[in-house]
Every structure is written in structure tokens, then in C-alpha cells.
Structure 1
Amino acid sequence: MVVGSQNVFVDSLENSDSKTFSGGEKHQTFGMEQRLKELEDKLDCDKHKGTRIIGVVGMPGIGKTTLMKELFKKWQRKFMRHALVDKIRVKSKDLEVSLPTLLVESLLSLEDQHHHTDNGEDPFEMYKNRLLERKVFVILDEVSKKEQIDALLGRRDWIHEGSRIVIATSDMSLTNGVVDDTYTVQSLDHGDSLQLFHYHAFSDDDQVNPRKEEFMKLSEKVINYARGHPLALKMLGGELHKQSVDHWKSKLEILAQSPSPGIGSVFKMSYDELSSELKDAFLDIACFRSQDKDYVESLLASPSPDPGSAEALSAVKALSDKFLINTSDGRVEMHDLLYSFSRELDLKGSTQGGNRNRRLWLLKDIIKGGEINVLQNKMKPANVRGIFLDLSEVKDETKLDCDHFKKMRNLRYLKFYNSHCPQECKTNNRINIPDELNLPLEEVRCLHWLKCPLEKLPNDFNPVNLVDLNLSYSEIKQLWEGDKDISFLKWVDLNHSTKLVRVIKG
């Protein structure tokens, strides 16, 4: 393979990232100076002697690639040999592409335009002596698997002392044991967000628009929605460019339900690489956003003889490492853009292997014709993973058939709550159960039933996996009869259940 220049595998720095979605050439960045300064401090050749490998991490679309391009433009002048290997996630899937060969040929082609390697040989071993002659500056962008790092760096015995290598990824766990330090790309602040959005949303002639004040107010709503996410701000700016005030308002209403397709597609690349268990965990966490970390981990945990080995601990950590969630002040949080993305995914019932687990929270998907019926629209009972009925949205009395939950063997979360009034409320949204309810739920982790009309939970209810039981303001007189396995039960709330006589009757 003969390589004439880096551009064989390194896309031009003036690619699609420098264009607006309305077609105009726009490549100005905002907030970049501070980001570059912070990253360069970790690479500083005077401050840090020897070889230095730095990880650059952050959520999808946060601006890692843009930062890498700006860094490469500036730092390639400091080294005789340099290479930016981009789009590694995509290129690694091309069977005809050898990432190690591309990197070595790029580094050496700057000196030898006719340099070539045989794909069947280890290029690092073949040209180790030549590679060791010079320090190198290498950026590996969009790394998605540890194997890609191993392939591109090999045994690292070819790297000249004093070299600088930067690895950009949306998965922090990939840098463990590899990097000397890590730089996390943060969201843009309000000022930079506003500048970036205005740069793509407005033209110079918009300054004299008679409705400028309205656009400015709507701009603030966009900024609040994007929460400093550069890609979202850039794409939304392009989509709203030259559009009317009414179009802006309509777009904001749509965004409240689902993200723009372009933004969602960036998140979906990370989502698609998750295991089926992590996909379910991600969609489950969206239902318990801003809850206590220990609580969420307990809900996600699979029963195990050793509670300390619960896979939920690794699920929360793995999703945090991939920046699909974050743990802040002891709570599990999710960026609004990712939350909207997760809701849209769940509506499509989109999980790996054709599994269509659903978490139902829309009133129209739960109640039809005054009856709780989540099996409408041909929904299979075994595919119902969660039911979240907000009673504040229910204006009248509702009925529930006694066998409705009978075949929902995978139901984990059953929650009848009131988002406007989590405790006592004077409402007319009673759930009527004309016949004796069957509740053979063995997988349920969370059972919340505000103002539960039952005097006791049905005999067939099995709390073997139950973690959280909340029957506040209910008609309950006792929980159930006889002994039941409640090994995983951590939280019980029976507050203001004034008819409660005993918890369990032996």
C-alpha cells in the first residue's frame, strides 16, 4: 500500500464540522481557547518530561473531535512526526483497513513518499528502529473499544521518549491503565452557548429583524434545552436559521418530546454498542432520574447470593464511564438531551436482539376508555417492563380488571403516583377493582401505589425481588398473609395508611 499523504486516512480538517446545516461555510468555535489551554497544560513538554499519554473524554457530541482538530493544528508544528487518526469507531469496522498500518505509514510518509508496508506484517515491529528515531505527536479520535487502542499503540516499545499521544473517547473506562492523565470536556457555559447558537441561527441581516426581541427570548429556551451541548446548539441553530418565530415555537414543542434526528443519531451510536443488559439499565434509569444512587443501583440489581456482586453496581459505573448518565451529589442524573433520546427509544421498543421491553408512562398507553389497559395496541404482557401512571393526569375514576397483571412475568416497576401531589390529595381519580385482584409478580422491584384501594396485597404476590414498597395513604390493613421472602426489601413507606392494623399476619 503506497501512501502519499496523511489525507489517505485522516480527513481534511476543513470537513463537515465547519459547515452549518443550512449549507453555509461556518467553522468558528466558541469556548475553545479555554479548553485548549486546559488540555495543553496536561501535555506541556517543559512541565512533563518523558512520554505523555492523555485521555480526552466526554459525552457524545460535547466537542471532543473539534477540540482534537484544533489541538492538532497547533501542536503538529512542535513535532517532526505527527498524525491524527480520526473516526476510529467507523474505520475499525472496515475489514480492508489496518489501523496500525495507517498510523505507521502516516508517521513515516512525511519523510518517504514511497513508503509502504505489507498488511500481513506488524508495522510497529518492522519499522521500530525508524520510529524510535523521532518523537511523535499522535491523536486517536473516536475510540470506542480497548482493542482499537491496543492495535494502534501495540506494545508501545516503538514510541520515542518525549512523545505525546492523545486518546479521545466517550468511554472513560477505555483509558484505565493506559493514560497518564485525563481531560474531561465540559459543557459550554451560558455565554459561549449563546454565541455558538446565534452564530449558526442568525445572519448579519437578522440584526434589523423587527421581531428580534422575540427571537432572543426563544434563543434562551433553546440554550436552556441544550444545556451547553455544542452539537445540539450547532444543529438547532442550522435548523432554525431563516425560520419564522412560529416555526421556532413549534420546534421547541417538538424538542420537549424527542431530540432532533441528527442529535439522536450521535447518541444512538453509543447506545447501539451497549450490551442488552446495559441498554435496559439505561432506559430504566431514565424512569428514575435524579433519584439516590444507592436506590437506583438497588433497583437494577439482579438477585445474587452475594449482594456485593450485584451487576447494577457495574451498570451505573459503566453508563457513567460512557457519559450516558452521571452521578452527582449522590444522585443519578441524565442530561436532558439523553433523557429525551431514551424516551423516544422506549416508545419504539428498541432494544438489542428484537427484544421489545417497554416502560409505559404516557396516559394514552396505559388507560383507554376509563380502564387501565396497557395491553392495547397488541402489546404482549411479557414485554411490559414498567408501568408509571401519573394520577395527576387521570381526571375521573378508573377501573382495573383483576387479571390484568396476570401474564406480566417481566414487570419490574409498577408505580401509581401523583407528580403534582406526592402525598395526600383531594382528587377523584380512584382506581376501582371490581373483582379480587391477581398480582403474581415475581420480578417487581418497585411497587408504588398511592391511595391503594386494597386491604391487603393478594396472596399470589411474591416480593422475592422487591426493593421498594410504597403504599402511603392507602386502604391497606395488612401487607399480606404468611411468611414471604423479602431479602432485598430496603424501603417501605406506609405513611398515613390509617387503617393499618399489622404489617404481616402469621
Structure 2
Amino acid sequence: MLHGYVINKCIFIEVWSRSATKTLLLMAVISPSQAFSYDVFLNFRGSDTRQGFTGYLNKALHDSGIHVFIDDEGLQSGKIITPELKEAIEKSRIAIPVLSTNYASSSFCLDELAVILDCSRRNGLLVLPVFYKVPPRHVRHQQGSYGEALARLEKRLLEEHNMENWKMALKEVAGHSGFHFEDGKEYEHKLVEKIVERVFSFINNGEERLHVADYPVGLGSQVLEIRKLLDARKNDASVNMIGIHGMGGVGKSTLARAVYNLITDQFEGSCFLQNVREESNKHGLKHLQSIILSQVLGMKEINLASEQQGISIIKNRLKRKKVLLILDDVDQHKQLQGIAGSSDWFGPGSIVIITTRDKQLLASHEVKTTHEMKELNKEDALKLLKFKAFKNGEVYPSYTEVLDQVVTYASGIPLALEVIGSNLFGKSVQEWESAIKQYKRIPNNQIREILEVSFDSLGEEEKSVFLDIACCFKGYKLWEIEEKLCALYDNCMKYHIGVLIEKSLIKISHDERVTFHDLIEDMGKKIDHQQSPREPGKRRRLWLHEDIIQVLKDNSVSD
């Protein structure tokens, strides 16, 4: 049996058998034009709302330039879901079930709803239910007109129905964040405007999905583990805090990004707060608090006077919102206390995911649900190494032994495999063997030393450019770095940057900023610091405030 889902435009297929479960990654890149034929699929009881609410909603969506599938061609005339209807659901970004008074009287509507929810689980289809003149609890618990309708269907259809599937579908759709319309409490046109705004915002924010990885091998099974942890408390209205822990470079942030992309559409507001350790050290907790408030509430600029004010505003403004908050690379308890102090800061159904190298930190914050990030198995590690070392080219049999040796020394750590593979790209078997001799001197799992082998292979000027960037320019725009350093390196800057990218020592983000893993940053700073550990004035680069102050006080800058 196959179970599939999509992460970062790559398809993960779960293959289930009696003996084992395997996750296969098909590196098929799906373009938007291939993936979606429609923006919105409308699921509704025609006799209830076609000439009224659903008709108005369809027109408003169409007038906003949103491509809608609505069954005006009699595809619902039979008793079963036609292939055309199923394909329309599969190829839609969003499904809007309009749950009206007589909706549950239609076995066809219920079958269609079951297909929609199956697509939501498999492909991340966003489901936005509209509870139209029906209390959500009646849908969830099959009460009122819904209970009566299902009882009639049960008598009429006898053995031919899927009653349990329908009940499960109604319970599940009631758990999705949507819209509730009650007579006398709101104008219909106002609700239509809200729905159109939500749909338009979702479609336009598609490009805000996070880049997961260039080659996300081995992620599928771990994403599935997190999904199981989330599903275990799916019907729990409380806030779910989950910790992902493991050593540096093992892929915690990558996993968190994949999960974020998969579930972010289910929340009223989301925020992926990356590099908490680094950003809190540089800018303080109130800076991080303002980012959360800005992203979740959709406000452009929030100025906080203090961390205490930030805590107060987060608690007051988010306690009724269903939010997704991911706190990446947390290393101190005070960071959690200032950003997600307790579960009652957020609304029912919210999820907070924390990545950290420190499992004890999770325990001290009473995070009971945790997942240990596992290293890549040998098969996946080999795939990643081949991808980095040979790109999509042919791998000759003569490389088999050296590939196996590198996989052994990298110990399944993605960052190490990525850097080693990039360093050995285009090299002969003899050059691989020479590099392996260097790796053999390094104790297992000592990633920083493994990374230093790549640094040692750089030319002298490339080493200098790397140390300048690692110590002083992380997060800067590429053009800013080139402008600041061109006086030192003339017209060679672009070449040197290219070499550093090829060796996976730095990366360029979607907004043209220079980024790299904090282990690579630590390595660069350690190397620079070793040039003169006790006399900072003799170093070329100063980044610590205390070192800068000491040098200025002592007037000890060397020539």
C-alpha cells in the first residue's frame, strides 16, 4: 500500500508491506502549473446554497481572479464520485466545504468531503470549512439536522453506505479552522469578503514557503514520525509543544522547515523563528518577540519597550489564536520563557515546535513530547554524498570504496556529508584517498574538525575571504559584502565567493543574503581566534564587544 505526501516540491512515498516500511524519495520537481488546475474547489449542497451563499461566494472569488471549480456541469448527477471530480479535488489548492443545514442529507456531498480530507492528509490541500447557519458542534458530533440526516441515510442505504467514513469526515472537518455564519450576527457579504481575503492571502503567500534543502534525502520517515506525534493529539484542544533534539549538523532545522511547510496552512497565524540562539545574542529577546507578533498578526512594525512588554502582548494577543510557532536552535531556558513561556499563551489547537541540541532544556520547560533527530542511514548518506560529489553525473565503480569510507567517517551527519562531498567534487580517486587519510585522524562525530579539512583545501586568499565573512558578515546581502571587501580583494571577490559556495561553506538565500550553518561560523571564528588567543589587537578580525573595547582601551592594534 502506498501513502504519499509532498514536501518542498518533492514527493515522499511511504511503501507499506507486511515485513517493513520504506520511505522512497522521488526527486520529481513539481511546477505550480503541473500541480494545480484550480485555486478553489467548492463542495456544497446545491439545493441549499447554489442560488444563494455559494453562488455569491463563487462570483466574488471569480471577480478576484481566483480560479474556482464549481460543479455546473452535472458531474454530481450519479451516485459515485466521477474521475473528473476526483481529479478536480486533487488539482486544487484549497477546498471550501459549505456545511449547510441539509448538507448531510446528500451521500454525494459526504463522499466528496471524504475525498477532500484524504487529499488534505496526503498532499496538504487546505480545507476552509464554512459552517453556514449550522453550529460547528452539530457537525462534529452529528447532532441536530446532521444527526437526523445521517439516521435517514442509514435506513435508506442499508448495506450500501459508508456511514463510519462519513461520521469521521464530519468530525475531522469540524476540527479545521474556518468560518461560522449565524443569522442576525453578520451580513453574508461581509463573510464572503473574509473568505476571499483568506483565499487570496494564501495563494499569494505560496512563495513564502520555506526552502527545506537542495536534496532532502532521508527526511520522509522523520517527517512521518512528527506527523504521528501531532496526530496523537489532533483532537486535543490544548496547546501541543514538541521538542526536536539532536547534535549540531544532524538536520533538526531541516526537519522543522519540512514540517512547517506541511502544516502551516492549518493555522490562523504562523512563524518560523530561525537561529534563536544567535539572534537573541545579537539583538535581544524583544527583537524575537516583535518578529513573532509581526508575522502572526500580520503587522508591519512592532516596537517593544522591553521583554516584559513583549511577554504581555504575546499572551494577550495570541491566547485566542490557533498558531504554529517554530523556535529553531534554542539553547537557553530564558529564551523559551520570553517567547513561549507556557501553553496558555496561545489559543486552543496551537503547536509550538522547539529545536535544540540540549534535551535537558526541553525537560526543564516541561516539554513532554520529544523526537530525537536520527543520523542518516548508510543508504541515504550515500545518496547525499553522491549528489554533492557528482551532482547528477555518472558515478564510476572505481569510486565505490572511497564513497563507503567517507560515509563511515561522516557518521550519517548531513552537514558533514554535504561539506565533504562538495570539497571532493570533480576530484580523482587518488585525491579522495588522500582526503580520507586526513579524515581518519579525526575522531568520529567531530564535525568541526571535519569541516576544517574543507577550509584547509582553500587557497590563501579564499581562506581570508571566508574568515572575513564568518567573523563579521553573516546575514549580510551579497552585494554589501562584495562592496565592503572589494578593496581588499580587487575583482577576485566573485570568484572567491563562487568557490566558497561550491564547497558548501556558505550559501546564498532567496533574498540574496549570505548564510551558513552555525557550526561553520564557529569553526571560522575559532580559526581566527587561534591566530592570537591572548592579544586580540594582533588579529585581523574583531567581533566580540569585549575584545573591541580592550583593543581600543589599550591602543594595541598591530600593523
Q: TM-score range by the shorter chain?
A: 0.3 to 0.5
Higher helix share: 2
Q: Give the TM-score normalised by structure 2.
A: 0.41
